Copies of this chain bind each other. A is one copy, B any other.
Amino acid sequence: MSLRSQYCGQVTEAQMGQTVSLCGWVHRRRDHGGVIFIDLRDREGLVQVVCDPDRAAMFATAEGLRNEFCVQVQGLVRPRPAGTENEGMTSGKIEVLCHDITVLNASVTPPFQLDDDNLSETTRLTHRVLDLRRPQMQHNLKLRYRVAMAVRRFLDGQGFIDIETPMLTKSTPEGARDYLVPSRVHDGEFFALPQSPQLFKQMLMVAGFDRYYQITKCFRDEDLRADRQPEFTQIDCETSFLNEQEIRDLFETMIRGVFKDVLDIELATPYPVMTYAEAMARFGSDKPDLRVKMEFTELTDVMADVDFKVFSGPATTPGGRVVALRVPGGGEMSRSEIDAYTEFVKIYGAKGLAWIKVNDVSKGRDGLQSPIVKNLHDAAITAVLQRSGAQNGDLLFFGADKSKVVADAIGALRVKIGHSEFGKSHGLFENVWKPLWVVDFPMFEFDEDNQRWAAVHHPFTAPKDGHEELMDTAPEKCIAKAYDMVLNGWEIGGGSVRIHRAEVQSKVFSALKIGPDEARAKFGFLLDALQYGAPPHGGIAFGLDRIVTMMTGAQSIRDVIAFPKTQRAQCLLTNAPSPVDEKQLKELHIRLRNPQPVA
């Protein structure tokens, strides 16, 4: 005899008049008019169980039940009394008249109520097992599974093969820090946990597997931010013989399908495509949030000769930039609101935040209210108003600094205002899903710290056709076949066409000042592989944690991971990491630098 005939949350009118057997947890117990009502919970939801006192033994058991007891209930499905139906739940039209209860396992009193929404994260992660019983967490992890399975079904249908790549692999210290694993067999040597399967998936293409994917853990020992974890999950894909457009089309279709399957949402067909240059010009970001209905107005050219150093300085300095951000209706912002935004942009390195309120655009200079208007000549003012399309009642903010500072500060300001109550109430924010492709990334960016060119994507990214020569002559102009999928201001996936010719790969290493010996020591296996008829190939990797965080509307990536680490990289449930035995260290040929006193 099975303990269970169906899930609690799935008992409906279809079982009316039948005897069912349910297993679950006491979510709530109410005693009302001599009758005991139990909300019985399992992963599929709640069902109301009614215990009448006329079955004395059963009723005595029911009286002993407390929250989170695990029980089996057998009973008759009957309609709820008229007026007590609950349209909000699947089982809301029925209740189960209890015939028998078996306590499968009692529970001590939980440290918190499952429906308490104000728990600290420390409490939740310490008592993660109970926290995971909360319907929201059940929903999040079930949705995560549905996303992963929708991805697998799609890729399976497209001929992609899941091939596992090693977790114990080689340390290549660049980019993020590696997690290292000492080797017992090889004294003084270490494995590294993979930051991504990048090189292995390329080798699988060279090996002729044609289409590969993997939903796999990657590891980065970085200081953690709200959206980072030491281990995170990547949907990692690679294909041979497709060009950039074909690759993008394929994975755009995949993500569109996932949103349709899991959330019944239709994403734009096709996604807008924007070059990196355009995204930076219009939004100051390579992952623009297109829900925000504001754009930059370029003013660098007209500010060169104004009598205002704050603008003319950056406008006449190479790498400097001046832009405006028009905030429709922003004229009603108070001085204190403007001051708060001025403080906000300082986080991004801006030294201040000039502004103009547009009272009456027809009056030109005289219709403007601002501390800076007097410093701008007529041509500048005309350009500001015409290019921005300013209307009466608008506010214009200005950024003037090095390009990067302007992009970061005014780009963040744009998003901040767009997401604010002001933005939402003034039509500056459209609450929809706004995917796009950002393409044509530069190959290289100059690394000021190390005074050399670094790869924007990674050193295995192919330059655009005809750009090979630029690697030597003008690296800053060299464009990569790289693309990011962006959704509502988040990069959810990034990829590129890879270099498939050994001589081009060597050229990139050379541009990055990675000498032949270093290249061979670190990537010899890749260079070797490219010599044996490597096919044209490319791919993409999606951040599963991030996609699911967005789809569930979770506050944190930690709400879509069953057993996450804290921001200090600890597991509060198991207390990992933890000290280990000296014997273990000895076997691994290592010792602590700062031996701990024995407890």
Alpha-carbon distance between A582 and B403 when the two chains are bound, in angstroms? 37
The one of B4, B177, B589, B595 that contacts A188, using a Cβ cutoff of 8 Å: B595
> Which chain B residues border A179 with CB–CB below 8 Å?
168, 181
Which residues from 421 to 476 on chain A have a C-beta closer than 8 Å to any C-beta of chain B?
A: none
Does A380 reach chain B (CB closer than 8 Å)? Answer: no
Known: A178-B584, A190-B579. A532 touches B170 (CB 8 A): no
> Which chain B residues border A171 with CB–CB below 8 Å?
576, 578, 580, 584
Does A563 reach chain B (CB closer than 8 Å)? Answer: yes
Known: A105-B533, A246-B2. A571 touches B233 (CB 8 A): no
Does A106 reach chain B (CB closer than 8 Å)? Answer: yes
- Chain B residue at minimum C-beta to C-beta distance from A574: B170
Contact A145 B161 (CB under 8 A): yes
Which residues from 196 to 230 on chain A have a C-beta closer than 8 Å to any C-beta of chain B?
A: 199-200, 203-204, 206-210, 217, 219, 221, 230
- Chain B residue at minimum C-beta to C-beta distance from A24: B208
Does A590 reach chain B (CB closer than 8 Å)? Answer: yes
Q: How far is the CB of A301 from chain B (nearest CB, A)?
A: 41
Does A562 reach chain B (CB closer than 8 Å)? Answer: yes
Does A333 reach chain B (CB closer than 8 Å)? Answer: no
Which residues from 113 to 143 on chain A have a C-beta closer than 8 Å to any C-beta of chain B?
A: 127-130, 132-133, 138, 141-142
> Which chain B residues border A528 with CB–CB below 8 Å?
127, 129
The one of B161, B169, B182, B576 that contacts A170, using a Cβ cutoff of 8 Å: B576
Contact B210 A43 (CB under 8 A): yes
> Which chain B residues border A184 with CB–CB below 8 Å?
177, 221
The one of B144, B193, B533, B562 that contacts A204, using a Cβ cutoff of 8 Å: B562
- Chain B residue at minimum C-beta to C-beta distance from A185: B569
Contact digits for A56-93, partner B, Cβ 8 Å, 1 yes 0 no: 00000000000011100000000000000000000000
> Which chain B residues border A7 with CB–CB below 8 Å?
210
> Which chain B residues border A240 with CB–CB below 8 Å?
23
Known: A2-B246, A145-B161. A188 touches B532 (CB 8 A): no
> Which chain B residues border A2 with CB–CB below 8 Å?
241-242, 246
Segment of A148-156, A341-349, A352-360, A394-402 engaged in the interface with chain B: A148-156
Contact B208 A133 (CB under 8 A): yes
Contact B580 A166 (CB under 8 A): no
> Which chain B residues border A170 with CB–CB below 8 Å?
571, 574-578
The one of B127, B156, B562, B589 that contacts A165, using a Cβ cutoff of 8 Å: B562
Alpha-carbon distance between A315 and B532 when the two chains are bound, in angstroms? 66
> Which chain B residues border A168 with CB–CB below 8 Å?
179, 219, 230-231, 565, 571, 576-577
- Pick 14 A–B contacts, CB within 8 A, sort by A: A68-B532, A129-B207, A138-B208, A170-B571, A180-B181, A180-B580, A182-B590, A186-B570, A187-B593, A190-B579, A190-B580, A191-B576, A199-B574, A590-B591
Of all A-B residue pairs in the complex, the 8 with the closest CB atoms, nearest first, are A132-B207, A107-B533, A189-B577, A70-B533, A170-B576, A183-B577, A170-B574, A129-B529
Other than the given A168-B565, A180-B588, 5 more pairs (CB < 8 A) read A145-B161, A164-B233, A166-B563, A191-B577, A589-B594
